[in-house]
Amino acid sequence: MDAIKNLTERSSSGRLDPPIPSREELELVYRAALRAPDHKNLKPSRFIEVSGDGLTKLSNIFVEFAKQNLSDKGEEQIEKYQRMPYRSPLIIILVSAFKQEKGVPEIEQMMSTACSAQSMLLALNALNYSGMWRTGKLSFNRSISNLLGLADNESVIGYLYIGTNVGPEKKIEIPNSNDFVEIWD
């Protein structure tokens, strides 16, 4: 795929079915992720790849999270969290592991992981797959980190739901760059 077309026309999809990327294709996706800008090369990003039975494991964790954290613990809410991981056949959990380093605050390390996420979405698009980056209550908190078994310095910055788009073709709106760009020359 043309690189500029990928950058300007990539879109997310919330309707994702199999097939998912092969092992070889996923290796390319991770290579793209690990080429993200990274101040002092601290390698803060870590990924948990979830598919197959792993989705059930994640579903159980989401249910536990809901039971521990939601103010509304009604059956409907719990079932909503139980179903969440099944919205796609593959999920990559985006983890940022903060390393103490002078001049590189945690926000920069999380931004590096965010760049990795975008690179993965672009790599997936180039390979004819699609994805959707989601956060919600299941990100940026110690409770979900503990339930996922993360270390004290690790936080979840989101989830890439991944598969093949089975939704309608998205109409890409072309923004007027004048609305967003100030030029000094």
Ligand X SMILES: Cc1cc2nc3c(=O)[nH]c(=O)nc-3n(C[C@H](O)[C@H](O)[C@H](O)COP(=O)(O)O)c2cc1C
Q: Name the site residues for ligand X (rule: CB under 6 A).
A: 11-12, 132-136, 158, 170
Sequence-ordered list of residues with C-beta below 8 angstroms from that of 21, at least 6 positions apart, any chain:
29, 90, 124, 127, 129, 162
Residue whose CB is less far from ligand X, 61 or 132: 132
Nearest approach, Cβ of residue 137 and ligand X (Å): 9
Nearest approach, Cβ of residue 118 and ligand X (Å): 8
Sequence-ordered list of residues with C-beta below 8 angstroms from that of 157, at least 6 positions apart, any chain:
94, 95, 96, 110, 113, 114, 117, 135, 139, 140
Residue whose CB is less far from ligand X, 99 or 170: 170
Quote the Cα angle for 129-135-136, to 5°. 135
Give the separation between CA 178 and CA 72, rounded to whole angstroms. Answer: 45
Residue whose CB is less far from ligand X, 52 or 129: 129
Nearest approach, Cβ of residue 1 and ligand X (Å): 16
SS3 (DSSP) at 134: strand
Nearest approach, Cβ of residue 138 and ligand X (Å): 8
Nearest approach, Cβ of residue 12 and ligand X (Å): 4
Tokens of 38: 């990274």
Residue whose CB is less far from ligand X, 12 or 59: 12
Residue whose CB is less far from ligand X, 17 or 101: 17
Give the separation between CA 59 and CA 84, rounded to whole angstroms. Answer: 7
CA-closest candidate to residue 168, choices 15, 10, 24: 15
